[in-house]
Structure 1
Amino acid sequence: MIGKNTYQPSVRIANWFEDLQLEESNVKDFLLKKENGQLLMQKRPIVNENILKRVDLTVVNDGLIHFGDIIQLTCPGEEVSKIIGRSRQCSTLAAHCSLDLMCQNAKLTEPCTVTGSHDLTPNVRTSFIVTSCDGTPTGQPLRYIQPFYLKTMDGSGGNLFLESDKFDFMKCAYQTRHQEVRLVSNPSYLTEWRIVYFNPLLRMEYEFMPVSANIQVIVNHVYTNQNLCVEDGATLIRTAFSMEYEISVHTYLNSHKAEEHNNHWILVTAPPGKEIIMPPHLTDDMPFQEASEETSEELTMEKNDCVCEKDN
């Protein structure tokens, strides 16, 4: 009875000597890569310690985005897909370069592209710093239609700037052929971005107003006047981390001349450490105040007195 694996390198039939040589060469390649530290199991710890290192986002107590803040750019795809019926999930803007460069330099290095990652954990490749390009000091609020840079983290992030340029047949997105988005080491007019208000009917009223954190906005490229975009689920790109969405610069408009879900972004920050309570006499025009321990005790005593009066 003939077995399933009849013809093996141990069986002297046909090109048995060639099979033995191929098997020996594979073992030699494995041992050579192991000595040089080129195996994937050896590269993974380097990536985890540097590129996937956890990053603490900036805590904003006033609810605004400031220059120098560490943020994430997240596109809320899950909520929109239920309405439209598309399978695109929630993703965040992430840097990506070849695995060999990341392991060799222990940081993000050019040439470096960006993708839409499903991993929403803030780390080096998914966190960016809001950097001024017009001399605005660090700590000042970012305002609508004010140009700024999006820079990666120092050190392992490689200090790279988000850039885009006009469409070209030799320089464009891989699948959709839209404007390419990449990370470069030197800032220029191609690395300038601005935040546009989400509602197109109120954009003129919100010009030069401070940008709020954790709300939906439009990220616009200053030079080309096109919006940062996450392509649909059909345009997946295989990376060293997982299958991720393609990122481009292209404006998708619906029948009402409003941006579609591909251009919706959220500037994600860390929640404030202290609880923010609005007193009963506070109007909408007044700013929020942080609740102190005395204020919280007074509110608790007032609630207990009200409960006692109702019982009586």
Structure 2
Amino acid sequence: MAQNLYGPRVRMGNWNEDIYLEEERMKDFLDKREKGKLLIQRSRRLKKNLLRPVSLSISEDGYVHYGDKVMLVNLDHPAGEEAGLFLGGDLSLCMTPDEIKAHLRDELEVPCGLSAAQIKAPIGRNTFIILSTGRDATGQVLRYGQDFCLGITGGFENSMLYLSSDHRTLLKSSKKSWLQEVYLTDEVSHLNYWQAAFLDPQMRLEFEGFPIRANEKIVIYHRHTNRGLAAHRHLFLRTYFGKEVEVAAHTHLDSHRAEKPKNHWMLVTGNPRNDLSTMLDLPKPPAEDTRAMEQALGLSTQ
């Protein structure tokens, strides 16, 4: 085998320069690998935290409380007037870091984006904590019309981001629909305040101040702008975790002045039979067989 008999003292110009550059690159690579600053190491840590399984709070009395860990789920519904592609199934509200910025930092970016994805299991990126806006109210029942905040840690221990929104401007709006943007920030302000409204607009005033039941459809309004949280299933986003859909703050009303299904959300709690599942995973009771009753009343045609 041929051996290189020429040392650095004999090499001149680019030959010697290339060898020193290669040595510096190797030293820099080994130093970053030892400190855990390589892009692949940062990416693995981020995904490990965001995809870490989380146990949701279990509602013993059937209501939602301050301090509960819940998922915000937009239940499956028909496409309606949206034409073209439409993402079906139950969608959960998820933290969605920017793909480029996520590789450059070892912590969550601020502000951080949001999206809705077909994720039914509670993990770091879709588990929110219901927080009070004033004094500590942990354990108290959340009621219709009360201000509350939605915080998320994303699987990180020493970080808390809050679901926020603000009026649309020419420089700040949602990416696809150009409506009011919804984002996550670490700043505590009145822009973090939200309220829950009863699903039926005709019964909304009667239910003001009543406790909010867990795992039932509600409408979530931004306190400052009075816009409803909405999942746009026909507007797709390319995220760090694949193809998901846009989330914005806008109230979509039908001909009866009622919010459309894209504004319907559910505060999903944990399954007492399994720590890592939700109440949506429980099997639905079979529908009651009414054929015998119909035959007795003479309503059956068979």
TM over 0.5: yes
- Match for 1:80: what amino acid? P
Shift of 1:272: 3.4
Q: Shift in Å at residue 108 of structure 1?
A: 2.4
2:78 alignment partner in structure 1:
80
After TM superposition, give the deviation of residue 102 of structure 1 in Å: 4.0
- Taking a change above 3 Å as real, the CA distance of residues 266 and 39 of structure 1, as seen in their structure-2 partners, is same
Aligned to 1:210: 211
| Deviation (angstroms), 1:47 | 2.6
Verify: 1:174 aligned to 2:165, yes or no.
no
Q: Distance in 2 between matches of 1:113 and 1:264?
A: 20
Change (3 A) 1:45 1:174: same
Structure 2 portions without partners, runs of 5+: 1-24, 275-302
- Map of 1:220 onto structure 2: 221
User: CA–CA distance in 2 between the matches of 1:33 and 1:142?
Assistant: 53
1:161 aligns with 2:162: yes
> For each residue in 1:138-197, what CA deviation from the matched residue of structure 2 results, as whole angstroms up to 9, or x when unmatched?
000000010000001276173011110011111100110100011110111111001000
Alignment check: 8 A CA contact 1:172 1:179 kept: yes
**Which one-letter code corresponds to 1:116 in the other structure?**
A
Q: Residue 116 of structure 1 contacts residue 246 of structure 1 at CA under 8 Å; is this kept in 2?
A: yes
Q: C-alpha distance in 2, partners of 1:260/1:32?
A: 58
Aligned-pair distance for 1:240? 0.8
> Any gaps of 5 or more consecutive residues in structure 1?
1-29, 275-312
Pair 183,256 (structure 1): closer, same or farther in 2 beyond 3 Å:
same
Q: Which whole-Å CA distance do the structure 1 matches of 2:214 and 2:112 have between them?
A: 27
134-143 or 208-217, which moves further after superposition?
Answer: 134-143
Distance 1:104 1:177 in 2: 28
Partner of 1:112: 112
Rounded Cα–Cα distance in structure 1 between residues aligned with 2:260 and 2:170: 26
Equivalent position SS for 1:201: helix
Count of matched residue positions in the alignment of Structure 1 and Structure 2? 245
Q: How does 1:119-134 map to 2 (within 5 A)?
A: 119-134=119-134
1:92 aligns with 2:92: yes
Sort the Cα spacing of 1:214 and 1:100 in 2 relative to 1 into closer, same or farther, 3 A: same
Distance in 2, matches of 1:83 and 1:216, equals 21
Shift of the alpha carbon at 1:44? 4.4
Deviation for aligned residue 1:83: 10
TM-score for the superposition, normalised by structure 1: 0.71
> Relative contact order (alpha carbons < 8 A, sep ≥ 6): 1 or 2 greater?
2
Q: Which residue number in structure 2 is paired with residue 52 of structure 1?
A: 51
> How far apart, CA to CA, are the structure 1 residues paired with 2:69 and 2:152?
9
Q: Distance in 2 between matches of 1:33 and 1:177?
A: 43
Aligned to 1:8: none
The yes-or-no answer on 1:230 pairing with 2:231 is yes
Structure having the higher helix fraction is 1
Alpha-carbon offset, residue 61 of structure 1: 0.9
Match of 1:145 in 2: 145
The alpha carbon displacement at 1:46 in A equals 1.5
Quick check: 1:187 aligned with 2:188?
yes
Q: Call closer, same or farther: CA 1:76–1:31 in 2, change over 3 Å.
A: farther
TM-score (norm 2): 0.73
- Following the alignment from structure 1 to structure 2, what is the Cα–Cα distance between the partners of residues 88 and 49? 26
Partners of 1:100 and 1:106 lie apart in 2 by: 12
Q: Identity across aligned pairs (percent)? A: 30
In the alignment, which residue of structure 2 is the partner of 1:269? Answer: 269
CA RMSD of aligned residues (A): 2.8
